Amino acid sequence: MFSWKPNSSAPLWDAASVEENQGPFFSDLEFEHDKQIGPSCVATTLAMIARSTGAVVTVDDFKKVTNSQSPHSWSNALKPYGLQLAYCNNDVRRIEYYIEELVEHNDLFLLSFYSIDPPSNPDENGKLCTAHIVTLHKDTIYDTAKHSSSGGVIAAQEYTRLKRQTKRIFRVVPLGHPRCV
């Protein structure tokens, strides 16, 4: 008889099957940091990523086609630039617990985290709490909420919000990748 036990340690990105490209997919991109205006971290981050492919786009282009709470819309918005998002295994662990694992992939990820310790129930407007999203490219974090010279472009291990709890983690994958959102 088979004796099964739960496994509490899944990698953030499961090993690929033989026929699946394992990446890195976008280690050669060059990023130019963009500082968000107002609560537009998702649209600003997506515009910054699209520009790294040579696209000429604005943050407003992404505001028109995305919902800040719908990762499916984010992934669709990246399709014209040959990119999509894929969910990574994650839980509410703090970023500091997995940052090294992501850096080892030497690739492009989006990290979404709660700005405060999340409550278990939403407020009267249905909102749980504020969250933020940043770009991890290889070993550098690009945080659109900060100026590039004051923490907006920083080594992943030195990022000041590593103690924040994870909301979502995405790997940016090529258009048509089997794990896309």
pLDDT at residue 20, rounded to an integer = 75
Residue 119 has pLDDT above 70, yes or no: no
Dihedrals phi, psi of 49, to nearest 5 degrees: -65, -45
pLDDT at residue 18, rounded to an integer = 65
CATH number for the domain whose boundaries are 41-174: 3.90.70
Distance CA(66)–CA(68), nearest Å, equals: 6
pLDDT at residue 120, rounded to an integer = 67
Distance CA(177)–CA(149), nearest Å, equals: 35
pTM above the 0.85 mark?
Answer: yes
**Which range has the worst mean pLDDT, 44-48, 127-131, 140-144?**
127-131
Domain residues of the chain, as ranges? Answer: 41-174
User: Is the bond preceding residue 24 a cis peptide, omega within 30 degrees?
Assistant: yes
Percentage, residues of the chain above pLDDT 70: 93
Strands annotated E in 35-165: 83-87, 108-114, 131-137, 140-142, 153-155
Calculate mean pLDDT across residues 6-33. 83
Listed residue (22, 92, 82) closest to 52, CA to CA: 82
